[in-house]
Structure 1
Amino acid sequence: MTALGDLIEIDDRTVLVLGQELDLAHDQPDVANALVHRAGDTLVLVDTGVTPAFRAALRAAAADRVGPWSRALLLTTHGHPDHVANNDLADGLGVPVEHCVPAPDLDQMRDPESYWVRSFERIAWAAPLPAPELAAKVMSLFAPMRPFAATTRTYEERPPERIRIGSLRFTGWTFADGAVRVLRSQGHCAGHVIVYLRDCGVLHLSDEGNGPCGAMVDADQLKIQTVLGAVAGLFEQEEAAVLTDGHTFAVRRGPEAVLHLDGLLAQATTLQEAVLGLTGGSGRIRPSAFTTRFAQAVAELGAGGANPNEMFTAMMALNQLRELGLRPEASGDADAPWSRPALRNPMPPR
């Protein structure tokens, strides 16, 4: 049993600081895991989580567990509140600090309630409150929310780089003379990045591994599956040795990491196959009815991902319908039927 702020030591200059699961019934926010690493004389923090207790755990790990440092680099993997609320920690480290965030996630970092309103409006038939009230309630769990520091800049202000690791090619940005590599992935949400620490072989997947189907309104299923496959390739080539992520309270090494990644990909294809059967022969279905069947399939496959709850399951269900090519037949009604658009335009009248 783990507790918020517990540490998993990866090596003498790298630790994973453990977060906690979401528990809406008890007003408990989820807190993303964070990496603390030292590359030469640079302290590297990957995400900062949320809550004062987690902030204190990060500071303690940086001060006591990874050795001396004289500068710092804070890398935000994406803009969700469980990853960014303590970002102003960068202002109190007492050394020169560089902080980078993904530009596509700036809007949700500035105005997270609007992002969650968009997400909850899509599932109004499954949400316990109107979207604005529900978004405000959820965001209240993540106070204080301080996603920016005095030195915050976007990754995209730096020139993009072609990054080769083994035989695989990525685009992104390098730091600390190449010891830290930020790789664009953009599956879990629009701006998502993953982080590779060269000297210890750690690949931090952050939230790209949150189950076989992305739930967010800006998730991209193809990008999720592509990055899972690419990361598995890094482990098979022994270019990466340790897999960490944002919400699994574990460290996976070598073959175990490959099995985990292959398992997620297998779940994704199996789930989509099941969804094809759930939509019925007509391919026309209401989201509320589909979600009930979808939730059963998810439970049978054990494919709920991190922080499973009814709302996230409904959000996943909509993304699966869209993945199969279905679209809502009408706007303004969240539970309007979805169906496949006609393959041909109707013949114009003569």
Structure 2
Amino acid sequence: MTVTALGDLIEIDDRTVLVLGQELDVEHDQPDVANALVHRTGDTLVLVDTGVTPTFRAALRTATDRVGPWSRALVLSTHGHPDHVGNNDLADELGVPVEHYVPAPDLDQMRDPVSYWVRSFERIAGAAPLPPPALAANEVVSLFRPMRPFGATTRTYEERPLERIRIGSLRFTGWTFADGAVRVLRSQGHCAGHVIVHLRDCGVLHLSDEGNGPCGAMADADQLKIQTTLGAVARLFEEGEAAVLTDGHTFSVRRGAEVAPYLDGLLEQATALQEAALGLTRESRRVRPSAFTTRFAETVAAQGVGGANPSPMFTTMMAVNELRELGLRPESGGVDAPWSRPALQNPAPQAPRPVSAARGSQPTSTLRGAR
């Protein structure tokens, strides 16, 4: 097994480099840092995500020198999580004309990451050994320093006209850059604004965090979109429209024929987790997240589910998302309140009571005509 360090470079070709991040370690005040992709097409530098920490920032500068020369730059954020956007103001320091884009649905969490994490932790209060949600959120976000998600050139993708993009037999919506050499494809599974990036000329598909395990953890994750994205990407590789897969957190490069089986494995795990969740929820009409999570974690371990930053906290977040995916809802806002499915039918309506006119009341027609 290859041991990697923050900022190590994997050369994909002479103009494409993957800059490696690191895993989250809250106990040792270590933030997770997402991998970044650095590429040159023509005279344009393409930087996909910027990670966080000064060490990673320096590694990005090294990588941009490795793929040069370039005279303009394009900085693309795949989504708004702090491990991907902390060094976004690097776009202002490249010394060339630059464009920087972020997803509009993620602006709120980029401006106020603490509130975003409070929302995620409130959902698992009582089901995981965490401090109060506000305290836990502040603790997590404090790891990501300095945090500079915006620069002078930052705009949202959504300010550009939406394009229909065809790659092989598949059709996407998104945005293209550098005369079509860079394709930003909407996926929106890992979180509300997520995009993936396809580099046409070198055949790299950067999945970013859509491949963080078979089940999304965040409050704004969409399991169907994750699974649809994984299936579509597998098809691109099977058709030869992509040749190299990179992502945000596995610290490796997958090539050619190994990609589709890897993605199929994630989809098989997703199916197994949902099947296990169904079995656990059939045993009782009402389910407490804490009890469900304990047994769900056993399935996660048995399936060998990995993904980014595996921990009891993220396992609990996935478990709650599985309950939501199966149609269950919390019965109240209480800590570890039971979840259950809404009734299939509304209660039978009661017959209306006859209303007798009160003495001296006006006729209905008179009331309707009053102004």
TM-score by length of 1: 0.98
- The match for 1:335 is 336
Match of 1:173 in 2: 175
Counterpart of 2:358 in structure 1 is none
Q: Which residue does 1:69 correspond to in 2?
A: 70
Please, which of 257, 261, 283 is the counterpart of residue 285 of structure 2? Answer: 283
Deviating beyond 4 angstroms after TM superposition, the runs of 4 or more aligned structure 1 residues are none
Calculate the aligned-residue CA RMSD, in Å. Answer: 0.8
Q: 1:30 aligns with which of 25, 29, 32?
A: 32
Unaligned runs of 5+ in 1: none
Query: Which residue of structure 2 aligns with residue 188 of structure 1?
Result: 190
Q: Which amino acid aligns with 2:123?
A: R
Could you tell me whether the CA contact under 8 Å between 1:102 and 1:155 is conserved in 2?
A: yes
**For 1:80-95, what aligned pairs fall within 5 Å after superposition?**
80-95=81-96
Bigger mean CA offset, 281-290 vs 108-117: 281-290
In the TM superposition, what is the alpha-carbon distance from 1:282 to its structure 2 partner? Answer: 2.8
Amino acid at match of 2:17: V
Amino acid at match of 2:98: V
> What is residue 151 of structure 2 aligned with on the other side?
149
**C-alpha separation between the residues in 1 aligned to 2:305 and 2:253?**
20
Instruction: Give the alignment of 1:93-242 within 5 angstroms.
Output: 93-125=94-126, 126-242=128-244
Q: Deviations over 1:102-138 (max 9, x none)?
A: 0000000000000001111111112421111111111
Q: Deviation of residue 281 (structure 1)? A: 2.9
Give 5+ residue unaligned stretches, structure 2: 352-371
Displacement after TM superposition at 1:307 (Å): 0.4
Deviations 1:249-268 (A, max 9, x none): 11001111111100000100
Cα deviation, 1:285-310, whole Å, max 9, x if unaligned, reads 10011000011110110114210111
Structure 1 residue 280: Cα displacement:
3.3
Deviation by residue 1:194-253 (Cα, 9 ceiling, x = unmatched): 000000000000000000000000000000000000000000000000000000111001
Within a 5 Å distance, the mapping from 1:226-305 to structure 2 comes to 226-305=228-307
2:310 corresponding residue in structure 1: 308
User: Which segment is superposed worse, 123-132 or 12-21?
Assistant: 123-132
CA distance in 2, matches of 1:256, 1:333: 46
TM-score, normalised with respect to structure 2: 0.93
Residue correspondences, number = 348
For residue 222 of structure 1, give the secondary structure of its aligned residue in structure 2.
Answer: helix
Kept after mapping to 2: 8 A contact 1:51/1:143: yes
How many angstroms apart in 2 are the aligned matches of 1:304 and 1:310?
Answer: 12
Q: Distance in 2 between matches of 1:168 and 1:316?
A: 29
Q: Is the 8 A contact 1:120 1:127 kept in 2?
A: no
Distance 2:301 2:169 in 1: 37
Contact conserved, 1:271 with 1:298, CA < 8 A, in 2?
yes
Q: Which has the greater radius of gyration?
A: 2
Separation of aligned partners in 1, 2:338 and 2:306: 24
The AA in structure 2 aligned to 1:281 is E
Alpha-carbon distance in structure 1 between the residues aligned to 2:134 and 2:286: 29
Contact 2:250-2:307 within 8 A present in 1 as well: no
Taking the aligned partners of 1:294 and 1:170, their CA distance within structure 2 comes to 34
**For 1:127 and 1:62, how far apart are their aligned partners in 2?**
42
* 2:80 matched residue in structure 1: 79
